[in-house]
Structure 1
Amino acid sequence: MNYIIFGGSGFIGTHLIHLLKETHPEDKIYDLDIVMPGEEGVVPGIVEKNEGVNYIRCDVRKPIDVEIETTKDDVVFNLAAVHRTPGHKDIEYFETNIRGAENVTAWVESKGIKKMIFTSSIAPYGAAEALKKETTLPTPNTPYGISKLVAEKIHETWKEKNQGQLIIVRPGIVYGKGEHGNMTRLYAGIKKHYFFYTRKDTIKACIYVKELVHFFLWALENNKEGVWNCTFEPAYNIEQICEAMKKATGMKRFIPTVPGKFLLVVASIVGPIGGKAVGIHPARVKKLMISTNINGEKLKNSGYKFHWTLEESFRDWFEDCNRKYLK
């Protein structure tokens, strides 16, 4: 059978390919992406060409004309997305995430494939302190969140029309080797003494990337359809995350607390002159001040067994980087 991954050259896709090669060595793996491993635009530090993986250049924003000899048992993973915020024009989120969903599902339908996993986001819930379950009414308030919610509906339409098996995953903050995002910036900020608490009880739902891709395969094997929040349960707050990260990596750092309004003023000044590169940006400061309070009870009670605790996941990531620097 085939595992066909749209957006497989990215952070999550690369970890998924590694796991598939380890657990399903007899099956074929296809990576369909606009960029190939080693090219500019691919997250550095993790992505390399894997022997036995079929790499095909594909832009999901355009109708997909890729010939693969498929079977009835094939699985498609749609990971292709524009996701970093801030960092893109509004139209880019809609162009890739919505049109991409239309083109991917159209191709899947044309091939008669019946199994698909779509990585959505917690962004469709909207930014608010309230606890969000899978049954919570989505109220997205960003172009990214809106585009992801629409993409979910496109995939659900494919499922109903084709009687397919669809798993929609809404991960919290995904971290691990090759992430170069929120958790990497947090580690760098702590290590270099420029991270400050605005409040210690801000909840930041998160999941280790290796855990996430293990869940993908478990959910497929156990026919776990529907929408899934993917996060530790209960979700950790920022102080717990920082303390686990420090303990796992051996950092000895004191993290002071700074009023959020003051930090926003600083970010508004420093951000435009280079602060964005290290996370000192008004949009990122605001994100830090608002909880991502995502409920993971459905996953916790599903029968899936986590492979890592929070601290163990940071330690594993640190080991992957030869105990030098989380990146």
Structure 2
Amino acid sequence: MKKKVILIGASGFVGTRLIEKTISDFDIKNLDKQQSHFYPNITTLGDIRNQNSFDSHLEGQDTVILLAAEHRDDVHPTSLYYDVNVQGTRNVLAAMDRKNVKNIIFTSSVAVYGLNKVNPDEGHPVDPFNHYGKSKWQAEEVLREWYHRNPQERSLTIIRPTVIFGERNRGNVYNLLRQIASGKFAMIGDGNNYKSMAYVGNVVEFIKYRLENLSQGYEVYNYVDKPDLSMNQLVAEVEKSLGKKIPSFHLPYTLGVLGGFGFDVLSKISGKKYPISSVRVKKFCATTQFDATKTHDSSFLAPYTLSQSIDRTIQYEFVKVKEDDVTFISE
């Protein structure tokens, strides 16, 4: 008999791919406040902020995979981060206790470490800089408190992915790849800064790996596809995938930041949001790396290299003819 697994918040980018990878091996159910485009037959509408809307759906479940989160940078009011990410987690755990569900896998984020840290591993001190990171860390604390109340019987896995990209995603990595592929791309700075990235196909395989190897205990993992690429190497990967040379134009860092400030002023005057800002320029030029030794020293093997992952995304988004226009928006 297949084990029963309820995914909470799986109608989006990561959840859709996770259902695709697990539905043949597990008895999967999805609970989300939005209907799933691809899996409506196994999706029930419910909001983790409303205990009564999902409590009964945990009856008879073996494991919860909690994906639901407020994660965009522009969420208003900011209290939503805490209502969903923290109180929502409490509500899920309360329902698990009432329905005697003892296993949970939770997707957190490397945002708990904060900005400009030097390759933090899972034991690095946390220093979240925004409401998303703060609320994810608070949710982790709620989960650890739940686990330690009965560690002899409970299983808790926390996975902290770096920025996730892949087919159908509309986020910062997609926007960057689109600009590079268009040939209308200006590199700000020398391009030698490195970025940790994670391909959605590998992330969901790691979640499935943990689901298949559940045991009593508590574990936390960073998820990053290694080795990290510099911005120059990323451009080279796009060139290789498209089979063409991308025009090379480097803009000095100082000019790039000044341009970003200019757009900041325009945004305040006009009330409009622009794709360029001083903060985004600084983030683009920063080295953002995270240690994932624990993940890759386990028996898990990522099915795709980072080079293959970028190529799969480039080919799907910018080369092949699409069968539909379904996309998922994230940061």
Is this a same-fold pair by TM over 0.5?
yes
**TM-score of the two chains, using structure 1 as the length reference:** 0.86
1:294 aligned partner: 290
2:88 aligned partner: 100
CA 1:269–1:126: 2 relative to 1, 3 Å: same
2:166 aligned partner: 176
Fraction of identical pairs, as percent: 28
Q: What is the CA distance between 1:197 and its match in structure 2? A: 2.9
Aligned ranges 1:233-244 → 2 under 5 Å: 233-244=226-237
Runs of 4+ in 1 over 6 A off after TM superposition: none
CA 1:179–1:276: 2 relative to 1, 3 Å: farther
Aligned ranges 1:217-296 → 2 under 5 Å: 217-223=208-214, 225-270=218-263, 272=267, 276=273, 279-296=275-292
1:186 pairs with 176, 184, 193, which one?
176
One-letter amino acid of the counterpart of residue 36, structure 1 = Q
Aligned residues: 311
RMSD: 2.4
Please state which structure has a larger fraction of its residues in strand.
Answer: 2
Deviations 1:16-60 (A, max 9, x none): 011112x41xx43221111113xxxxxxxxxx2326x42111112
2:59 pairs with 70, 89, 92, which one?
70
CA distance in 2 between partners of 1:247 and 1:321 (Å): 15
CA distance in 2 between partners of 1:87 and 1:260 (Å): 29
**TM-score of the two chains, using structure 2 as the length reference:** 0.85
Bigger Rg, structure 1 or 2: 2
CA distance in 1 between partners of 2:98 and 2:155 (Å): 16
Larger deviation, residues 94-103 vs 315-324? 315-324
2:312 aligned partner: 316
Aligned ranges 1:136-155 → 2 under 5 Å: 136-155=124-143
CA distance in 2 between partners of 1:240 and 1:86 (Å): 30
1:8 pairs with 7, 10, 23, which one?
10
CA distance in 1 between partners of 2:252 and 2:123 (Å): 34
CA distance in 2 between partners of 1:81 and 1:69 (Å): 19
Aligned ranges 1:37-52 → 2 under 5 Å: 37=36, 48-50=37-39
